């Protein structure tokens, strides 16, 4: 845990941002009434507002901390406007393009948290998850797994967890060292009890890849008491092997009988 704390300090919000400014960015999302009722597919089919795109392009020209905060604020502010999807993708593109990994992640996660839309209704959620998953390489991946454990903002934490579930169930996992895979498995085990219901299925898939079917079943509470009728894969294999051994012994006994 000490090493994790040290590593995560590398990714925390830069002191120059200040707690007050970040609170201001996130609070701006709390004051908006409701969110889009459209499905992601419906929202994506809405004609896009060119004026929003132009404003996003203008915002992208504001560099530094001020620009990051303003883009995060606008990303959340436009969340209820399906015609602003293209503009919001533009803002994400700029936030993801920042060279400093700490500033990059803080800008993206601040934007994610400023959006009140449930992930299931968010037309940009999958884009966010895969874009983050693409960042998890080398030392950055190790430090980001620590960030998963340190992040307390609900939406930001969820997108981080989903991005690592995406890593676990894609070809990206091949780039992880054995130590990183172990850390990822431990991280998924640590977070799975507290993920929302809508995230359970992706966690189940990730755990099956990382630790096998029994790990996923045990984390889901299956086969622990014997009362649910579920038999763990390892227990089933043991029982099958035991029955086969008994049968072989019986057959040998018959063959050796006078």
Global pTM reads 0.75
Distance in angstroms (rounded) separating the CA atoms of residues 23 and 26: 5
The count of other CB atoms within 10 Å of the CB of residue 228 is 10
Cα–Cα distance, 190 to 157 (Å, whole number): 13
Q: From the DSSP assignment, how many helices (H) and strands (E) are in the chain?
A: 14, 0
Give per-residue pLDDT as tens, 160-203.
999 999 999 999 999 999 999 999 999 999 999 999 999 999 99
pLDDT digits (tens, 9 = 90+) for 13-42: 443 444 444 444 445 444 444 444 556 666
- Give the pLDDT confidence score for residue 217 in this predicted structure: 82
Res. 131: pLDDT tops 90 = yes
Task: Report the percentage of the chain scoring pLDDT > 70.
Answer: 69
Q: What local confidence, expressed as pLDDT, does residue 248 receive?
A: 61
Radius of gyration of the chain (CA): 24
Checking if the pLDDT of 127 tops 60, the result is yes
> What does the pLDDT average to over 137-156?
94
Measure the CA–CA gap between 120 and 167, rounded to whole angstroms: 19
Could you report the per-residue pLDDT of 217-230, keeping only the tens digit for each? Answer: 887 777 556 666 66
pLDDT of residue 24: 44
CB 92 within 8 A of CB 130: no
Dump pLDDT digits (tens) for 38-70: 566 666 677 777 889 999 999 988 878 889 999
Whether the predicted pLDDT of 78 surpasses 60: yes
Q: Which residue has the higher pLDDT, 132 or 226?
A: 132
Closest residue by Cα to residue 11 from 158, 194, 156, 167: 156
If DSSP codes are grouped into helix, strand and coil, which group holds residue 118? coil
Residue 111 has pLDDT above 60, yes or no: yes
Dmax (CA) for the chain in angstroms is 96
């Amino acid at each position: 845990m000490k090493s994790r704390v040290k590593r995560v300090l590398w990714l925390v919000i830069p002191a120059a941002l200040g707690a007050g400014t970040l609170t201001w960015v996130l609070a701006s999302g709390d004051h908006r009434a409701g969110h889009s009722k459209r499905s992601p597919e419906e929202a994506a089919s809405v004609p896009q507002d060119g004026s929003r795109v132009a404003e996003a392009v203008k915002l992208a020209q504001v560099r530094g901390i001020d620009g990051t905060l303003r883009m995060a604020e606008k990303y959340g502010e436009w969340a209820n406007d399906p015609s602003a999807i293209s503009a919001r993708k533009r803002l994400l593109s700029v936030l993801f393009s920042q060279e400093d990994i700490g500033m990059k992640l803080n800008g993206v996660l601040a934007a994610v948290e400023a959006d009140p839309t449930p992930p299931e209704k968010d037309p940009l959620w999958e884009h966010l998850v895969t874009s983050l998953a693409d960042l998890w390489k080398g030392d950055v991946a190790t430090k980001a797994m620590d960030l998963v454990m340190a992040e307390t903002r609900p939406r930001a934490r969820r997108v981080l967890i989903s991005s690592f579930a995406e890593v676990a169930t894609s070809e990206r996992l091949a780039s992880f060292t054995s130590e990183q895979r172990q850390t990822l498995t431990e991280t998924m085990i640590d977070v799975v009890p507290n993920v929302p219901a809508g995230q359970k299925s992706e966690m189940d898939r990730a755990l099956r890849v990382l630790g096998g079917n029994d790990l996923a079943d045990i984390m889901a509470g299956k086969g622990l008491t014997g009362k649910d009728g579920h038999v763990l894969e390892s227990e089933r294999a043991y029982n099958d092997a035991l029955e086969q051994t008994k049968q072989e012994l019986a057959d040998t006994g018959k063959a050796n009988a006078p």
